[in-house]
Structure 1
Amino acid sequence: MSRILKFTRFSVRDLIATAAPTVALIAALCVVAYLLVDPSPPRHVALATGQFNSAYEEFGKKYQAQLAKDGIKVTLQPSLGSAENLQRLLTGKADVAFVQSGSTDEASAERRGLTSLGSLFTEPVWLFMRESTKVTQLTQLRGLKINLGPEGTGVPKLFRQVLAVNGVEPNELTIGALENTPAVMALLDGSIDGLVFSSAPESPLIQMLLQTPGIKLFDFTQAEAYTRRLPFLTHVVLPRGIVDLGRDLPAQDYHLIAPTATLVARRDLHPALVELLVQAAADIHGGAGWFAKSREFPTPQYTEIPVAREAAKFYKDGPPFLQRYMSFWLANFFDRMWVIVVALGALILPLSRVIPPLYVWRIRSRVFRWYGQLRVVEQQLDDAQHHGDPATVCKELLHRLDQLEDRVNQISIPLSFADTLYGLRSHINLVRQRVLAMTAHHSHNEAQPRV
């Protein structure tokens, strides 16, 4: 039975041996395509945030915790604010950053390779002043000491634009450049008359100043007019009692003007990380807040920077299908498998045409290699016919033919190639007949009497 099983219609072992190099080549090329054409997303991201005790810093910590769940390490880079964050992006020191609307324009962002992942929240312009300062119009700021913060933030540029539409020149008041925390201390001890923040209300300093006796918030009663003059601003209302309902803080509605905070990335940031960051933004900023309804943010609106394709797709269709049911890395792996599919499609068709001929050649080579030995026997037979001792040579050749036939009988090939095997055995027998004929002829000549 074991001998019968050797003769099958198909040889799996030979097919595997034949196809193995081709399969290995395809696998190697697919791996190269997987690594080079669509590399795996990095596991580290540098996020430029803002000053100490700022809303940017607080939100940066939330992004750090959110992305850590998917194995992404987020390094937070404290900065002065939007202007410095933009510079960090342009020099490659940061991959992602919080940037305030109005800090750049569409043409400049496109030219510099920046892309928006969406607007995250409004950043009202908070003008806090000492209660003793009687200011109801920005034109009354002339001659006062107002801190706008360092030039690396977006506030000085923003507030100068606000002053300009009021006809107030920056040199008509004393402008300070203290960072947020020292500026608050200066306001509390009376060193300055007021300070300007542009931040989300989550900032600890904002929360503190809204509840500090002797400090008042400026009411932008002309907020709607500002939004017409400066299109990157929106009109928001701080509702009465939102800080503390029990103490009725604040005691009235305050109208504020607000740019929006945008999550900006370098254009070469891996698409999978863009998707992950936008999903994190939806979790962090999607709730209702002081100035936003539930799911109002994040949004592709309110940004002058072109929105990344992956981010726009998320805002339109939601998370990628696979990431709704799988972990980030597993979903990303299957999502990138299309590279393998394309590579396989390009390689399998041409290479598959090579395997069948190689398989046939491998099977037939088991038989054809014995024809070389058979040809040697024929050459020795021809030589013996003209030279040497035919009887001795023929006897040796018959022995070699018997050995050759015995080895050929041990060859295992599929039944579909049996004709080749039987052809070889017929040819061995044909040569044997020639040897026997020569042996008989030589014996006959030896038997004839010599004259």
Structure 2
Amino acid sequence: MPKKFKFTSFSLRDLLITIGPLTVLIVVLGYFAYKLVNPFPPKEVTISTGQENSAYASFGRQYATALDKFGIKVTLKPSQGALENLQRLKDDEADIDIAFVQGGSAQQEDAEEYGLVSLGNLFSEPVWLFYREGLDLQRLTQLKGLRVNVGAEGSGIPKLFRDLLKVNGVKEESVRISTLDDKPAVDALLAGRIDAAVFSSAPNSALIQKLLRTSKIDLFDFYQAEAYSRRIPYLSPVTLPRGIVDLGRDQPPRDVHLIALTTTLVAREDLHPALINLFAQAAVNIHGSAGWFRKRGEFPNASYADIPVVPAAIKLYRDGPPLLQRYLPFWVANFFERMWLVLVALLALILPLSRVVPPLYVWKVRSRVYRWYGELRVIEQTVEEAPPESRAEIYAAQFRRLEELDDKVNHISIPLSFADELYRLRSSIGLVRKRVLRLIEEEKAARN
């Protein structure tokens, strides 16, 4: 390679040394910002659902399918129902991230004490009171002495049923209450081992569908539904339209008044915001269509809930998915949505620091030349301060140092744009050499 190609107008090594500390600083700040913001959600999440064949179990599978498209594995953990789900959320050792909870099960104090947030109202869960044909129940006071199953304690129905008896002036002990799970309760009702069974579930539950289509089982008409909703605040009146179960067979043959609870998704407040966003988007797709008890777009919503609705869900229900997620893959969009403040802050840091780089680079290159001026100055001072009796030896020693210095400087590699600095140094060395030579000659002449 020709020697001239060894010389360039730019020194990459000096630039790297100059920007190295700044780069390390920016990388370290970026790393800590990344850890603080935590842009990427965990790849696994656990949801507490409900009993087998319940609406909660069905919806849980739908959420699992929806999040699986984004590479999130949803583990479904069956439960007795809403109360057990809420209790699991309160218990750190239960390892539950999100769960279905009915209205009336939780209180705002739970949110404050246990750090819980709601994703809004998802759907209405009617209270279904099925009874054996022939009993002709018109009022809940007629349940006295009957065998009524109200579900397991963890389902939340026992508490609701006690509230219903209370507002009707019926003592709990006057009813022969059992607490079978949903499926055994259906089997017992069909077999005649119990007289009635209370459920709270969305109509897509397989067990509810089975009972609605069984001719020997009747559905209680809460014709005082509006009054119940006024006496028990967490209930709302709904209507099962005539023919909705089977239009061809005209089932039911008339509108049936029901009372309903509203179900929400409740999560721990430390659940990653990206997961909350994904669950909220899935809720829109799963619960947003028209159903037996809802109009299209009525659910999900962020109206009043026992536990405050997280702002991210409110914004999504109002404005739709975030802008970037409409055009970019979820993981990319989520990264920029979570990190944009950090990126802007780093950019604001990089811009002023970048102005420091050019002067530092110039100083670094010139320092390779300037540092030899210090040694040259030491040689001059040594020569000037030499005592008369040892001048000859000192002059000779400093002359050798000048020769060594000149040889070292001659091997300095420096960008061509700074070559004038190098030649100035060599000229200075030459001037000092001439002076030392003159002093050596004068000393020789004086001794002779």
Q: Which residue is equivalent to 1:143?
A: 145
Q: Which residue is equivalent to 2:241?
A: 239
What does residue range 162-201 of structure 1 map to in structure 2 within 5 Å? 162-201=164-203
What does residue range 9-24 of structure 1 map to in structure 2 within 5 Å? 11-24=11-24
1:125 maps onto 2:92 in alignment: no
The code of the aligned residue for 1:16 comes to L
Q: What is the CA-CA distance between 1:286 and the residue it aligns to? A: 1.1
Please state whether the residue corresponding to 1:123 is helix, strand or coil: strand
Q: Which residue is equivalent to 2:430?
A: 429
1:367 maps onto 2:359 in alignment: no
1:207 maps onto 2:217 in alignment: no
TM-score by length of 2: 0.91
Q: Which residue is equivalent to 1:84?
A: 84
Q: Which residue is equivalent to 1:109?
A: 111
1:32 maps onto 2:35 in alignment: no
The answer (yes or no) to whether the contact 1:34–1:336 under 8 Å persists in 2 is no
More off after superposition, 98-107 vs 35-44: 35-44
Gaps of 5+ in 2: none
Please state whether the residue corresponding to 1:387 is helix, strand or coil: helix
Please state whether the residue corresponding to 1:259 is helix, strand or coil: strand
Q: What is the CA-CA distance between 1:11 and the residue it aligns to? A: 4.2
- 1-structure distance, mates of 2:144, 2:293: 30
Q: What is the CA-CA distance between 1:136 and the residue it aligns to? A: 1.1
Q: Which residue is equivalent to 2:71?
A: 71
Alpha carbons of 1:369 and 1:385: their partners in 2 closer, same or farther (altered >3 Å)? farther
The answer (yes or no) to whether the contact 2:83–2:155 under 8 Å persists in 1 is yes
The code of the aligned residue for 1:125 comes to V
Q: What is the CA-CA distance between 1:147 and the residue it aligns to? A: 0.5
Please state whether the residue corresponding to 1:15 is helix, strand or coil: helix
The answer (yes or no) to whether the contact 1:120–1:299 under 8 Å persists in 2 is yes
Q: What is the CA-CA distance between 1:135 and the residue it aligns to? A: 1.0
Q: What is the CA-CA distance between 1:107 and the residue it aligns to? A: 3.5
Q: What is the CA-CA distance between 1:99 and the residue it aligns to? A: 0.5
The answer (yes or no) to whether the contact 2:7–2:413 under 8 Å persists in 1 is yes
Structure 1 vs Structure 2: percent identity of aligned residues?
Answer: 57
The code of the aligned residue for 1:305 comes to I
Q: What is the CA-CA distance between 1:105 and the residue it aligns to? A: 2.5
What does residue range 17-416 of structure 1 map to in structure 2 within 5 Å? 17-38=17-38, 40-92=40-92, 93=94, 94-341=96-343, 343-345=345-347, 347-348=349-350, 351-352=353-354, 355-356=357-358, 358-375=360-377, 377-378=379-380, 381=383, 383=386, 386-387=389-390, 389=392, 394=396, 401-402=402-403, 404-414=405-415
- 1-structure distance, mates of 2:85, 2:206: 21
CA deviations over 1:57-85 (Å, ceiling 9, x no partner): 11111111111111111111111111111
CA deviations over 1:355-402 (Å, ceiling 9, x no partner): 455434322221123235434644675659642756x964x7656545
- 2-structure distance, mates of 1:388, 1:262: 98
- 1-structure distance, mates of 2:433, 2:304: 96
The root-mean-square deviation of aligned C-alpha atoms, in Å, is 2.6
- 2-structure distance, mates of 1:15, 1:171: 87
The answer (yes or no) to whether the contact 1:110–1:306 under 8 Å persists in 2 is no
- 2-structure distance, mates of 1:4, 1:422: 19
- 1-structure distance, mates of 2:71, 2:389: 86
- 1-structure distance, mates of 2:268, 2:410: 71
TM-score by length of 1: 0.90
- 2-structure distance, mates of 1:3, 1:445: 48
The answer (yes or no) to whether the contact 1:260–1:302 under 8 Å persists in 2 is no
The answer (yes or no) to whether the contact 2:391–2:443 under 8 Å persists in 1 is no
The answer (yes or no) to whether the contact 1:275–1:310 under 8 Å persists in 2 is yes
The answer (yes or no) to whether the contact 2:395–2:440 under 8 Å persists in 1 is no
Q: What is the CA-CA distance between 1:332 and the residue it aligns to? A: 1.1
- 1-structure distance, mates of 2:391, 2:98: 93
The code of the aligned residue for 1:41 comes to P
More off after superposition, 121-130 vs 435-444: 435-444
- 1-structure distance, mates of 2:44, 2:402: 73
The code of the aligned residue for 1:338 comes to W
Please state whether the residue corresponding to 2:293 is helix, strand or coil: coil
Q: What is the CA-CA distance between 1:425 and the residue it aligns to? A: 2.4
Alpha carbons of 1:376 and 1:105: their partners in 2 closer, same or farther (altered >3 Å)? closer
The answer (yes or no) to whether the contact 1:116–1:264 under 8 Å persists in 2 is yes
More off after superposition, 143-152 vs 351-360: 351-360
Alpha carbons of 1:158 and 1:302: their partners in 2 closer, same or farther (altered >3 Å)? farther
Alpha carbons of 1:375 and 1:97: their partners in 2 closer, same or farther (altered >3 Å)? same
CA deviations over 1:26-65 (Å, ceiling 9, x no partner): 1122012101343531111110111111110111111111
Q: What is the CA-CA distance between 1:2 and the residue it aligns to? A: 6.3
Please state whether the residue corresponding to 1:232 is helix, strand or coil: coil
The answer (yes or no) to whether the contact 2:103–2:306 under 8 Å persists in 1 is yes
- 2-structure distance, mates of 1:142, 1:235: 24
The answer (yes or no) to whether the contact 2:392–2:443 under 8 Å persists in 1 is no
The code of the aligned residue for 1:110 comes to E
Q: What is the CA-CA distance between 1:299 and the residue it aligns to? A: 0.9
Gaps of 5+ in 1: none
The answer (yes or no) to whether the contact 1:47–1:75 under 8 Å persists in 2 is yes
The answer (yes or no) to whether the contact 1:51–1:80 under 8 Å persists in 2 is yes
- 2-structure distance, mates of 1:319, 1:326: 12
